[in-house]
Each structure stands twice: as C-alpha cells, then as structure tokens.
Amino acid sequence: MKSIKFFLGCLTILVLLLTIGCSNKKVTHHNYTFRGQSENWMGEFKVIATETFTKKDVVEYDSESEEFFTLTYKGDIEQLQSVEEFKYRYEKLYGAGSQSKTGPPEKVMVRRTKNKGNAIVRKDEVIKVIVEVDGKTETFELININND
C-alpha cells in the first residue's frame, strides 16, 4: 500500500513539474477576413494563422499561416475578352503578392500562400490592392470585417 502511495505521489509531482515547465508557451490563433472593392473589382483576403511564443532563456517566436487572396470582376466576363495586359498586386505591412497576365483575366482569381516563421497579418492592417487593365488602374483597400 505504501508503494502505491509513493508511486502516486511521485507521479503527481512529475505531472506538476511537466505542467509548470510547459506553461512558458503561449499559442495564439488568428482567423481574419479582409474585404473591399472598387468600381469594377471586389477583393477578399483571408488569414488563418498560429503564433507561438516560448520563453526559455530568451523569448522564441514561431508562426504558421495560410493566406487566400480572391479577386473578382464585378461585371460581365464578356467585357474582359478584349483585354491585352492584366496585372494585380496586393500590399500588406510585411509582404505583397502579384500576378501578371497577357490576355483576358478570369472572372475570379485565387492566390493561396503558406508561410512559416514569418510575421503574420494583423487584424488592424489595411491591405492595398492595385488592379491594372490595359494601363487603366483601380486601387482600393481591404479592411478586416471580423468583430474581434
């Protein structure tokens, strides 16, 4: 009986030490959606991310994120058939994405990126979008639509 109590006591202490030792880690999950539009285009930028701060002798940072940028033409796709040069670009605080195309664009374009160890998009950021169709430029901003 004493052996069982001793074993349970040791097990309890071990669990407490492991819990205390692992409590120096803070994990934060982010899930944001940014939207905006111009006269002819609608944009949406979704971010799903996890940040981990671990305190050892120094604070260590790690992150993983997945980003989805969707650009949609608001008009009839037939209006784009004569397009010769198409470009778009989105600009975040810490990075950007772009695409160029000769010929007409699709009505809906999606760009997906995965990042590890990089700074992630913050909920209060404003993402700038520039769309250029045959030399004519439209610029608009995407803002966070989430309430958190």
Could you tell me the CATH number of the domain that includes residue 40? 2.60.40
Instruction: Please tell me the predicted confidence (pLDDT) of residue 97.
Output: 94
Are 32 and 59 within 8 A, CB to CB? no
Instruction: Please tell me the predicted confidence (pLDDT) of residue 19.
Output: 46
Q: Which residue has the tokens 């778009």?
A: 88
Where do runs of H (alpha helix) occur along the chain?
A: 2-22
The answer to the question of residue 18 being in a domain is no
Using one digit for the tens of pLDDT, what is the confidence trace for 8-20? 444 444 444 444 4
* Count of structural domains within the chain: 1
Mean pLDDT, residues 54-66: 89
The answer to the question of residue 128 being in a domain is yes
8 token code pair: 């349970």
Distances (CA, A) of 39 to 42, 45, 71, 143: 8, 18, 13, 17
The answer to the question of residue 5 being in a domain is no
Distances (CA, A) of 97 to 106, 115, 137: 17, 13, 17
The answer to the question of residue 4 being in a domain is no
Q: How many CA atoms lie within 13 A of 139 on its CB side?
A: 4
126 token code pair: 């404003």
Instruction: Please tell me the predicted confidence (pLDDT) of residue 57.
Output: 83
Within a 10 A sphere around the Cβ of 23, how many other Cβ atoms?
Answer: 9
Q: With a cut of 80, say whether residue 21 has pLDDT above it.
A: no
Within a 10 A sphere around the Cβ of 127, how many other Cβ atoms?
Answer: 23
Instruction: Please tell me the predicted confidence (pLDDT) of residue 8.
Output: 43
Pick 92 or 6 by higher pLDDT.
Answer: 92
The answer to the question of residue 122 being in a domain is yes
Within a 10 A sphere around the Cβ of 137, how many other Cβ atoms?
Answer: 10
Residue 144 dihedral angles phi and psi, to the nearest 5° = -65, 130
Instruction: Please tell me the predicted confidence (pLDDT) of residue 146.
Output: 86
Q: Which domain holds residue 95?
A: 24-144
Using one digit for the tens of pLDDT, what is the confidence trace for 118-141? 889 999 999 999 999 999 999 999
The answer to the question of residue 15 being in a domain is no
The answer to the question of residue 99 being in a domain is yes
The answer to the question of residue 33 being in a domain is yes
